[in-house]
Amino acid sequence: MRFYMFFFLLVCGIIYAQSEQLNSEYEVIYKVKMYPDTTSKNNVIEENVSLLIKGDKSLFKSTKKAIRDSIAMAIGKKSFENPVDGKVILDMRTVPGVNFKSEVFSEGGKQTVYKELLKNRFSYPLEDPIDWKIESDTKTIATYLCKKAIGKYKGRNYTAWFTEAVPIPNGPYVFKGLPGLVLEVYDTNNHVSFSMVSFKKVAKPIILMNDVAKTNYEIYHKARQNFIDNPSGTFMSQTGLSVRPSDVSRINSNVRRFNNYID
């Protein structure tokens, strides 16, 4: 019960600003593929992510994350309105897990990155957008003729394939700023990749994450490193929940096994 309560509070803390709601004109679905542990390719994570676009604005977010937030809020609302014997019973078994939790909002070419770290949520401006170099190579992706571009971000070298047939300078996560829509992007070590699944015209609400600590990348990175250095301690300090001494080593080991952070 304590775990479900923590999980509910974690999810319900993601409150979104819905005033002056903006609806998308297009949605691009990508499949993200990544290896949690860069030292081993025995385990791979795959998840669909969404890029909602309206003019010079866009929101990148996991499709499962949007579903998770909606389901969790509905369960929480129903549970609090219908207590059993005076007790709120939370059953989160139908809430899907999410692997790719980062979000990116772009407006007028300026990007804001949103991150979650246990109960804490951060937002920071992207201060080092990728300086792309367009090369002569071409290939066809889903009937679209694409051009190749290479760039570096947070110590990783990336290759992107974009199409001028869709003159939207956008793409998944922070991979934007090319003269056409990015259909595929991956790092040279193949630790993470995004590939387009579908592109369609659709009106969906672009809802930004609220209740976040506005900061910069350096502060977020330090908070994340503190979590990596002491996962169980950070968990207890943020949630007020206790961890049995016999579980500390296992929790720390599991967290540190995930080292493929996509900054």
If one compares 86 and 183, the residue with the highest pLDDT of the two is 183
- HEC profile of 180-229: CEEEEEEECCCCEEEEEEEEEECCCEEEEECCCEECCHHHHHHHHHHHHH
**Residues 40-83 pLDDT 10s:** 778 899 999 999 999 999 999 998 766 656 555 555 555 556 66
pLDDT, residue 76, reads: 58
Residue 245: which pLDDT band, with cuts at 50, 70 and 90?
confident
pLDDT, residue 100, reads: 87
CA 69 to chain centre: 13
Q: Is residue 149 within 8 Å of 132, Cβ to Cβ?
A: yes
Say whether pLDDT at 11 is over 70: no
Rounded Cα distance, 202 and 207, in Å: 15
Domain layout of the chain by residue ranges: 2-257
Q: Vertex 129, ends 192 and 98: CA angle to 5°? A: 40
If one compares 7 and 108, the residue with the highest pLDDT of the two is 108
Q: Vertex 200, ends 199 and 202: CA angle to 5°? A: 140
Rounded Cα distance, 157 and 170, in Å: 18
Residue 174: which pLDDT band, with cuts at 50, 70 and 90?
very high
Rounded Cα distance, 104 and 139, in Å: 27
Q: What is the mean pLDDT of residues 2-7?
A: 44
Calculate Rg over the CA atoms of the chain. Answer: 20
Q: Vertex 121, ends 152 and 259: CA angle to 5°? A: 45
Q: Is 241 helix (H, G, I), strand (E, B) or coil?
A: coil
Residue 248: which pLDDT band, with cuts at 50, 70 and 90?
confident
Rounded Cα distance, 172 and 181, in Å: 9
pLDDT, residue 80, reads: 57
Say whether pLDDT at 149 is over 70: yes
Nearest to 166 by CA among 179, 185, 153: 179
Say whether pLDDT at 8 is over 50: no
pLDDT, residue 5, reads: 44
If one compares 14 and 60, the residue with the highest pLDDT of the two is 60
**Residues 85-99 pLDDT 10s:** 666 455 555 555 667
pLDDT, residue 256, reads: 75
Rounded Cα distance, 129 and 126, in Å: 6
Query: What percentage of the chain reaches a pLDDT higher than 70?
Result: 79
Rounded Cα distance, 222 and 228, in Å: 10
